[in-house]
Each structure stands twice: as structure tokens, then as C-alpha cells.
Structure 1
Amino acid sequence: MLSKERIDELVELQANLGYTFRDNLLLNKALTHKSYVNEKSEAIKNNERFEFLGDSILDVVVSHYMVKTFQDFSEGLLSKIRAAVVNESCLAGLAREIHLGQYLLLGRGEELTGGRDKNSILANAFEAVAGAVYFDSNLETAYDVFLPKLKGEIGQYAETSLFRDFKSELQQFAQTNLSCIPHYRVVNETGPDHEKQFEVVVRTNGDEQGKGSGRSKKEAEQAAARNALEHLNPKNPNHGA
């Protein structure tokens, strides 16, 4: 049984989370770190099993949203974005947004060494809470609860060129919509050998669709492909960055 004080604490967290548990014991278990269990004589279970479950739940939430939203992204790009979102640093940040750390049950050692603000503990607890929400309800509810929290992170990584292979995206778009393969050509080189600047144009079916420059042919081709995507598919927001 939970004390009234603990129940009141969990009510606060549920308001931050945007979900009300039918079974508060599930949420309490999700917040129970193994260091706390190790110091108790009574049989208490820690949150590691919920953490295992929640990791998969968050993967599904992110994957489902991206497959629906970013229809031109390759499987490899989707995997990179998901890995960037469902990782320790990102999840710890999301945990801080709902003040998760102050509701954790920690052992004395972790308490004294700042465990409530450790990335690893916060990220694991966030996953555990996701697992508890799923266990208390269903996948659809977990999706509705956690997607709004994850969507901003997904969008941020989806829009950064660090994760984008514009040449692959352009090739997929051209094959699907234009029945052709893009062709790239270097049209200009400037600067000394150690500081070359390349200018590349990309054509589909003989028509110039984009132009880009860079310090290498590969970089210039990526820039040209990005420019072509913006030209060919301006209504798709996923090609802007």
C-alpha cells in the first residue's frame, strides 16, 4: 500500500505526464530504482523490467510516427533518427521536462551522489514509465501520451542535414515519380588544390533540377540533390531544413 503522501506525489507526476493511472502501484514500481530495493528488507521489485518494456514502446511510437510522416525517408535514415531520439541524453531531457527525478525512489548512495539528475537514471526511469503506461492501458494510449513529448525531438533530427542523404532521397523520388535516375555533373572548380570549391548540377530526363557547391564533389552533389528536392517537391515539408 502507498502512503497518502506518496499518492499525492504521484498525482503531481501524473499531471505532468498527462496520464492518470488506474493502478498507482505500476507507476510507483516504474519509479523504483534498484538502489532503493537493495536497501529494503521487504520484497520490492525495481523498475528494470518496465524499463525493458518501455524501450520497445518508445521505439514503436517513434517508428510509427516517422513511417507515416516522412514517406520519402529511407529505412537507414529512419533508423538513425530513431537512435538519436530514443537515447539516454534525449530521454533524460524529456524526463527533466516532467520533473521525473523528484519522484524517484533511490537508495541513500544514489541520493547523496546526485542520482535524481543523472542522465542514465532519468532515461531509464522515463522508459520504465512508458512501460508502465502501456501496461496500465494499451499501445494506442501510450502513443498518445508520449508522441507529443517526442515529436519535437524527431522533427529536430529529421531536419538536420547530418542525418540526411539527399542523393538517395532524390534518386528514390526520381525513380518513383519521374521514372529516371538523376545525373550529376561538375560544372565549375575554383580555388587552389588545398582549398577547392566544386559546383555541381543535377539533371533528370535532361532537365536541370538543382545546383549546389561544396569543398568536395560529394558535398556539392549532396547540396545539388537537396536543391533539386526543394524544386521538385516543394509541398513536402520534409525536404526543407
Structure 2
Amino acid sequence: MSSSDIDFSVLEERIGYVFKDEEVLRTALRHKSALEGRDGSCNDKLEWLGDAVVGFFVADYLFHHYDKPRSWLSLAKSKLVSEECLAYLARKIELARFIELGKGEERSGGREKDSILASSLEALAGAVFVDSSSYEETRKVLELIFCEAGDISSLNLSVNYKGLLQRWCLQYYNCLPRYETLSQGNQDFYRVEVKIGENSIAWGEGKNKKRAEQEAARKALEVLSSDNQFPNKGQ
């Protein structure tokens, strides 16, 4: 479907903003695959801008609403700007139906890919910022999108904790976390320990190994986000 065939009024109502220049919105929701070798604009640049805008919005919101140490704020921000979280928000506003894709990407299920949904949401934020020339207007839109269900902290759901812990470890320790199965009481129960270097950080339990690892990663992130809880590098 061409973007010229899409009625964006429903989306504008959902985000509480009506575009002065609808072409900016069309560009924001035009995936690069839609060009299919033709000249034209896709959402790459608006996604780049939107990434910064969303990051600032989340940092500003957390700074003013949570009296927490920097480490906690950094972890919370990582969760809220993660691909998983942004894709979840995009689904909440049914953004997929408004995205223009190429035929090949459409056939491969691109409309449901987290990467495309997340990048499209960022591009949408960038488009609002460009069209309004106002961070305050953009903030209102993002607050509506992020806080529709209530407190922004409720968005900690559907987070890939193993992925977050991996990025955290690479940033602060230049290594990857290791997961070791401590016990398997029966087919429906696993206990897994996560280590950074030789340091045992946390353990988790689950009905399968994957869930146990996710729980261990979640607990490890809680430990690491607490002040004075970082193991020494190189140990």
C-alpha cells in the first residue's frame, strides 16, 4: 500500500497531534524497503532524530519523577528505550497499519518485526519534533504514548533482560555474562546462576532454562543498578 492511500487521521487522534505537513508524517512511516530502488525519502533520518528525542524524553521523565541513583536511572532508561519496549508501545497505538513497506518486506512479515516497529515509533517522534518545531509538543505526544497505561514504570514488562544485561556488561566490564545451570529438580524446574567474570551475581528459577536465565538476568540487573554493588573489573 502506498502512503498516499493511508488515512492518518486515526493515528493523529491516538497521539494527540495533527500534523501541519502530512508529508513529514508519511516520510516518518515509510520504511526504506518501500522505495524499492526508486528515488525518494524514507524514515532513516527521522528515526535518527527520533532516537535522540525519545532518549531525552525518557531521561527527563525519570530524572524528575524518580529520586534514584544514577545507576538505577541508567538501567531504567535502557529498559524504556529498548527495541522490545518501543515495539510494544508501537503495537499499543497500532502503528503497524500505517507503515509503508516494500512488497518483499511485507511478504516476510515486516509489519510485525520489533525492529521495524521500534524504528517507526522513533521516526514518528522525530516527525512530531520537526513538524511542531517544539520539544514541548513532542513531549506531550510521547507522554501520551508512554504513559497511556499509567505510571511509566509499568513498561518494564516484555523486556529482554538477558539482552540488557549483555549490553550492561559490555559497557562496564567489556565481557559477557555467563549462565550456569545449578540444578534441574525435574523436567519443569530449572535454577540458573549468572556470573560476571568469576563473580556470582544472582540466580533465577523457571519452568525452563530460558525463563530461569531471564529471571537470573533480571535479578542481576537489580543488583548492578544498586549503588556500591558493582564487582571489581577484572575479577
- After TM superposition, list the pairs within 5 Å mapping 1:35-184 onto structure 2: 35-40=33-38, 43-71=39-67, 73-137=68-132, 138-151=134-147, 152=150, 154-156=152-154
Q: Which amino acid aligns with 1:68?
A: H
Provide the alpha-carbon RMSD of the alignment: 2.4
Q: Which amino acid aligns with 2:51?
A: D
2: CA distance, partners of 1:91 / 1:105: 18
Kindly indicate whether the alpha-carbon contact (under 8 Å) linking 1:55 and 1:127 is maintained by their aligned counterparts in 2. yes
Which residue of structure 2 aligns with residue 166 of structure 1? none
Pairwise CA distance, 1:157: 6.2
Kindly indicate whether the alpha-carbon contact (under 8 Å) linking 1:61 and 1:143 is maintained by their aligned counterparts in 2. yes
Any stretches of 5+ residues in structure 1 without a counterpart? 163-218, 226-241
Q: Deviations over 1:83-114 (max 9, x none)?
A: 10011111111111111111111001111011
Q: Which amino acid aligns with 1:65?
A: Y
1: CA distance, partners of 2:127 / 2:96: 16
1: CA distance, partners of 2:116 / 2:89: 12
2: CA distance, partners of 1:10 / 1:91: 20
Change (3 A) 1:59 1:107: same
Q: Which amino acid aligns with 2:129?
A: Y
Q: Which amino acid aligns with 2:60?
A: H
Q: Does 1:19 align with 2:17?
A: yes
Q: Give the TM-score normalised by the residue count of structure 1.
A: 0.60
Pairwise CA distance, 1:153: 6.8
SS at match of 2:8: helix
Pairwise CA distance, 1:13: 1.6
Pairwise CA distance, 1:15: 1.4
User: Which aligned runs of 4 or more in structure 1 are off by greater than 6 angstroms?
Assistant: none
2: CA distance, partners of 1:53 / 1:89: 19
Pairwise CA distance, 1:14: 1.0
Q: Give the TM-score normalised by the residue count of structure 2.
A: 0.61
Return the structure number with greater helix share. 1
2: CA distance, partners of 1:53 / 1:10: 21
State the identity %: 36
Q: Which amino acid aligns with 1:145?
A: V
Pairwise CA distance, 1:150: 1.8
How many residue pairs match? The answer is 156
